[in-house]
Chain A
Amino acid sequence: DAEITQSPRHKITETGRQVTLACHQTWNHNNMFWYRQDLGHGLRLIHYSYGVQDTNKGEVSDGYSVSRSNTEDLPLTLESAASSQTSVYFCASSNPGAQETQYFGPGTRLLVL
């Protein structure tokens, strides 16, 4: 069955370290998204991609970067982790089309000390 996976599921790191969160989907979807979810906020878009070699900034992109070298993967990198980046991170994918659904990975819980 097609799926979307994230790794690691839990991560503890220290301020200033570089961290990469992996996202892999086997749906063959063109669109991929990274969100963060914090208490009191809806999911907030960090970065997104509409296809290989395409990346775009979302509403909370500062301190994060992504790259899209193939259809299946969109890794999210925290260049220099900050305590404000402690959050739950969700990756999602979808295919272009009207009313298309976004399918989510199980999430990564990141704690920055």
Chain B
Amino acid sequence: RKEVEQDPGPFNVPEGATVAFNCTYSNSASQSFFWYRQDCRKEPKLLMSVYSSGNEDGRFTAQLNRASQYISLLIRDSKLSDSATYLCVATRGGSNYQLIWGAGTKLIIKP
């Protein structure tokens, strides 16, 4: 079992729609969680951190459920420019510097 699991997709979504991804993690000792975005053949870039209380950044909302060990990302009013692969990330238990990466969920926004 992978330590961080994501549905690889692709999710094909019309422009303007709302889309949600989930991600599960296996290490209950993980303390911090993130969503990164990766465009084709480029480096990953931080999209947002995920806090226990949930957090929102514009059209993006991230939620953490520690009891069920999953993280979600909601994108509202999706744009063509949101097309990318979204990587779910958890810190390795006992170390906030090392990250465990999911394989990513591919999102394609269609006009």
The SS class assigned to the B binding surface is: loop
- Complex Cα distance A104/B41, Å? 13
Q: Which residues of A contact B96 (CB under 8 A)?
A: 98-100
For chain A, residues 34 to 56, give those with C-beta under 8 angstroms from any C-beta of chain B: 35, 40-45, 48, 50
Q: With A42-B2, A42-B4, A99-B49 in contact, is A104–B43 under 8 Å at CB? A: yes
Q: With A48-B97, A98-B96 in contact, is A40–B43 under 8 Å at CB? A: no
Are the C-beta atoms of A96 and B97 separated by less than 8 Å? Answer: yes
Are the C-beta atoms of A43 and B101 separated by less than 8 Å? Answer: yes
Residue of B nearest to A101 (CB): B46
Question: Is B103's beta carbon under 8 Å from chain A?
Answer: yes
Are the C-beta atoms of B103 and A42 separated by less than 8 Å? Answer: yes
- Complex Cα distance A2/B78, Å? 31
A-B contact count (CB 8 A): 49
Are the C-beta atoms of B4 and A90 separated by less than 8 Å? Answer: no
Most chain B CB atoms below 10 A, which of A43, A45, A58: A43
For chain B, residues 36 to 69, give those with C-beta under 8 angstroms from any C-beta of chain A: 41-46, 49
- Complex Cα distance A28/B21, Å? 35
Q: With A98-B32, A99-B32, A99-B49 in contact, is A45–B43 under 8 Å at CB? A: no
Question: Is A94's beta carbon under 8 Å from chain B?
Answer: yes
Hey, what's the 0/1 contact readout for A79-113 against B, CB within 8 Å counting as 1?
A: 00000000000100010101111101111000000
Number of interface residues of A (CB under 8 A): 24
Residue of B nearest to A38 (CB): B103
Are the C-beta atoms of B98 and A104 separated by less than 8 Å? Answer: no
Q: Which residues of A contact B (CB under 8 A)?
A: 31, 33, 35, 40-45, 48, 50, 58, 90, 94, 96, 98-102, 104-107
- Contacts A90-B44, A101-B34 known; list 14 others, CB within 8 Å: A33-B98, A41-B103, A42-B102, A43-B44, A45-B98, A94-B97, A96-B97, A99-B49, A101-B46, A102-B99, A104-B44, A105-B43, A107-B41, A107-B42
